[in-house]
Amino acid sequence: MEVKIGVQYAPREIVLESGQSVEEVERLVSEALTGKTQLLSLQDEKGRKVLVPTDRLAYVEIGEPTVRKVGFGTL
């Protein structure tokens, strides 16, 4: 699924494709915003971690799980 993270004082948002479930991403964001952790840590599909300080979070947008299409069908 696609996750977009807005960071204060940054000109662009962070966009990553995550293999984590929607519920897991929501839980991690919630823990970061309630002060349980000082960093929001998400992992993308290639195993790379994205760390964002919670005091710099502007927004987090969680997209729908992506379905990969195979073939030459029309859209």
The pTM of this model reads 0.78
pLDDT interval class at 62 (50, 70, 90): very high
- Provide the pLDDT for residue 63: 87
- Examine the pLDDT at 52 and tell me if it is beyond 80: yes
Which region among 14-18, 37-41, 47-51, 66-70 has the lowest average model confidence (pLDDT)?
Answer: 66-70
- Could you list the beta-strand ranges (E) of 1-75: 2-7, 14-17, 39-43, 49-53, 57-62
- Examine the pLDDT at 42 and tell me if it is beyond 90: yes
Q: How far apart are CA 15 and CA 61, in angstroms?
A: 9
